[in-house]
Amino acid sequence: MVHLVARFYGQCLCAWVLVIASVCQGASAQDGLGEALPVGVGQFTFVDQDGDPDKPIRVFYIKPKRVTPNTPVWLVMHGVNRNAEDYRNNWVELNRRYRALILVPEFSSEDYPGSRAYNLGNMFDEQGQSVDRSLWSYTVIDRLFDHVVLREGLSSQGYGIFGHSAGAQFVHRLVLFLPDAKVRLAVAANAGWYTMPDPEVPYPYGLADAPSNEDSLRAAFGHSLVVLLGKEDNDPNHKHLRKTPEAESQGPHRLARGHSFFNQASARSQALDVPLAWRCIEVPRVGHSNAHMAPVAAKLMARVPKTRKREAD
């Protein structure tokens, strides 16, 4: 009799364990975290439940063999061709030295058409009406970062982010319009044109009528941003260089426009009596090349202390 009772309760216990395990598995499937990413290069789909879940984003990644809670997370933003996989591949050999977890989200032309929805952050719709902040392309980045940190069991409080060309436009505007982003260091390399930190110039070339004010601009100036410029990126006739009068007023080519952006930020920060944490760095013997700017960006991001808190904390 004793053995029968023990067997009965043992079967009940096993049944309850299976039920609990099933519930836990269901919760895991519902939250969309999934298992840790496989080591090496790969891709996964990020469904932004707090943004627009109908616009899933492919994320190409590089995961080093050894990941610890302190492994840094770096975001890489692609250019106008939306070729995230190519950008990821440019970092494979480079990352053998730095061993960061690198994420390259792809903002497809179908879901994020034109510069309005990608480079300009999807802050305004096609009719010029304001879009809810949760739907900005900029806000996707923090949520993607949070997703991966949770999925990988990391302790990272912030990330480095690098963008080249159209990706650099994305990065510098993320800093301007999302000053509470979890960015530790932003590197904007060879942008074709800029949103100047000037409240008198109409958006998108300046801040007039944009979601920005003096307080948010002060916070943006406190972020670590590097305006990274190829010293030979000075072709005034480059096929992807914007030629509108407003863009031309920033300078004849990318090198000049980058200096104009940084110089105007310096002047504006002085007018607001706030320190400028930005830097402008020229890279010699480099033109409009993502592959040749990436090693410089990686070295800059690797210098950011892993345990340092963000300035906004």
pLDDT digits (tens, 9 = 90+) for 23-77: 333 333 323 467 899 999 999 999 999 999 999 999 999 999 999 999 999 999 9
Cα distances (angstroms) measured from residue 177 to each of 212, 216, 221:
6, 7, 11
3-state secondary structure of 49: coil
Domain containing residue 25: 1-31
State the total domains in the chain.
2
Residues 91 and 25 reside in one and the same domain: no
Residues 11 and 97 reside in one and the same domain: no
C-alpha span between 37 and 62 (Å, rounded) = 9
Q: What are phi and psi of 77, to 5 degrees?
A: -105, 130
What are 290-311's pLDDT values in tens digits?
A: 999 999 999 999 998 765 443 3
The answer to whether the predicted template modeling score (pTM) of the entire model surpasses 0.85 is yes
Residues 166 and 214 reside in one and the same domain: yes
> Does the CA dihedral 41-103-137-148 come out positive or negative?
positive
C-alpha span between 301 and 74 (Å, rounded) = 8
Residue 305: the pLDDT is 76
Residue 15 has pLDDT above 90, yes or no: no
Write the CATH number for 176.
Answer: 3.40.50.1820
Range in 2-16, 76-90, 155-169, 229-243 the model is least confident about: 2-16
What's the whole-number mean pLDDT along residues 151-157? Answer: 95
Residues 143 and 4 reside in one and the same domain: no
> Does the CA dihedral 70-48-110-44 come out positive or negative?
positive
Element (H, E) at 259: helix 254-271
Residues 138 and 230 reside in one and the same domain: yes
Residues 131 and 217 reside in one and the same domain: yes
What's the whole-number mean pLDDT along residues 209-218? Answer: 96
Check if the beta carbon of residue 209 is closer than 8 Å to that of residue 266. Answer: no
- The answer as to whether 309 is a domain residue is no
Residues 165 and 254 reside in one and the same domain: yes
DSSP 129: P
Residues 23 and 122 reside in one and the same domain: no
